[in-house]
Amino acid sequence: MGGTEITFTEQLTPYLPLLTAAIGAIIVGAFAMWNRRKGNTETKAPSVAEIWARADRLERRARWAYRIQDAFREYVARVRAGGSTELDAAERAAHDIELSDKE
């Protein structure tokens, strides 16, 4: 063959796609095993009961926010009309309500 020898690069080049795919598969497999051990909770779809529970929590928070807003508007109207700056019982009750994340 005319004295030309095949270099290491020329011998390796046809196998580069196979090597790249094998290394990529090993990396992806390692991440998959790691996710399985964690429980993979971030990709779990919520159940219908969990969705309704979230909706109920959001509705309670929205009602609380509307109560606070209404109490504040009533307070502003009363103060502008020359009334007392002290909170009445309904305004204090609306202000003192605390919502927890578990509620």
- Sequence-distant (≥ 6) Cβ neighbours of residue 23 within 8 angstroms: none
Shared domain for 1 and 40, answered yes or no, is yes
CB atoms closer than 10 angstroms to residue 78: 15
Shared domain for 25 and 67, answered yes or no, is no
Task: Provide the pLDDT for residue 38.
Answer: 65
Shared domain for 29 and 62, answered yes or no, is no
Q: How far is CA 45 from CA 38, 49, 53, 91, in A?
A: 16, 12, 14, 40
Q: What is the pTM of this model?
A: 0.43
Shared domain for 23 and 65, answered yes or no, is no
The whole domain housing 32 covers: 1-44
Task: Provide the pLDDT for residue 45.
Answer: 81
CA angle 78, 71, 81 (to 5 degrees): 10
Shared domain for 98 and 52, answered yes or no, is yes
Residue 73 reports pLDDT greater than 70? yes
Radius of gyration (Cα) for the chain, nearest Å? 33
Mean pLDDT across the stretch 79-101? 76
| Number of domains into which the chain is organized | 2
Mean pLDDT across the stretch 65-74? 84
Q: What is the pLDDT of residues 14-55, one digit of tens each?
A: 899 999 999 999 999 998 888 776 665 666 788 899 999 999
